[in-house]
Amino acid sequence: MENRNRQVLLKRRPTGAPTPADFEITDAPLPDPGEGEVLVRGIYLSLDPYMRGRISGVRSYAKPVEVGAVMEGRVVGEVARSRDPGFREGDYVLGGYGWQLYSAVPGQGLVKLDPREAPLAAALGVLGMPGLTAYVGLSEIGQPQRGETVVVSAASGAVGAVVGQLAKREGARVVGIAGGADKCRYVETELGFDACIDHHAHELGTAIDLACPKGIDVYWENVGGAVQQAVFPRLNDFGRMVMCGMVAEYNDVEPRPGPNLMSAVRRRLKIQGFIVSDRWQRFAEYRAMAAPLLKSGELKYREDIVDGLERAPEAFIGLLQGRNFGKLVVKLGDDPTRR
């Protein structure tokens, strides 16, 4: 074990797109676990679009990261030292303890992971928060019916990939939207979507019309911007728009105008947003459903693993530009289950 703890701090609040200079990499002393606490050595750090909200000053559903504080984030790690009788050295755990190599945290905030059930990093993606996000939004808002058309933006991403696969299991026609030919090929051939539109290559409106000849019944909104503008007028009567995120607009300094809402009357649309942290109580139910599908290979996923905490700022900046391909994870240290 090292005797220093490398950390990434928020140096200042970005205006517009974050730059590496908005973050600071520093070394702190190794924390000492108190009574009931556990020292965790980080193995994988999750990077997610919501973090852009946490570092802006905008009023939101969660407390912002303070300037000078360690960036927040969920981590999978290994117990290095335990002062909680519920944990032993070598246990694998999931918890929210930030962009840093080590953390001393109360044992009661940690979830134990069994590496025989699924690869450790899956707890940050397909079996974690992004997977639950897909499950909650689809079952509570989108509610796709057999034969309906579901469009999923950011289709190769951590949430979109699960949304599409779950919607397919409900018997819907599923059309993805992603940036780039590689992503689209993956979405169609690996994830099994009926089609995927490359928004880098095609005029979106035409491409959607061709891929969705019966219009759109459910739109899963991950990105906003031009994709939203193309999809919204193509929603069918009684269409549902699941508002999960609008990553293409997260760096905007001024919010862009949205669609005129008279369409919501004429077409009886439902536009509804949600935040997965309101629905943790459904996590066990989701895992019970998804873990066997993952094991059997019916539920596919892909990780984009970046090596080293020092690369987290750059990887996060790329995430906001859609440069990742699959669930973005930073490898903080050795994964003993993968040796």
Chain residues that interact with a second copy, rule: CB under 8 A: 53, 59-61, 221, 224, 228, 237, 241, 243-246, 249, 255-275, 278
CB of 18 to a second copy, least distance (A): 17
Longest dimension (CA), the chain: 64
CB of 271 to a second copy, least distance (A): 4
Q: How far apart are the C-alpha atoms of 56 and 50, rounded to whole Å? A: 11
Nearer to a second copy, 174 or 276 (CB): 276
183-212: burial string, b at 16+ Cβ within 10 Å, e else = bbebbbeebebbbbbbbeeeebeebbeebb
CB of 48 to a second copy, least distance (A): 14
Nearer to a second copy, 204 or 264 (CB): 264
CB of 10 to a second copy, least distance (A): 20
Nearer to a second copy, 165 or 222 (CB): 222
Which amino acid is present at 150?
V
Nearer to a second copy, 264 or 293 (CB): 264
Instruction: Give the DSSP H or E segment for 104.
Output: strand 102-106
Nearer to a second copy, 113 or 241 (CB): 241
- Grouping H, G, I as helix, E, B as strand and the rest as coil, residue 296 is helix
Q: How many residues does the chain have?
A: 339
**Which positions ≥6 away from 251 have C-beta within 8 Å?**
14, 16, 17, 18, 52, 320
CB of 265 to a second copy, least distance (A): 4
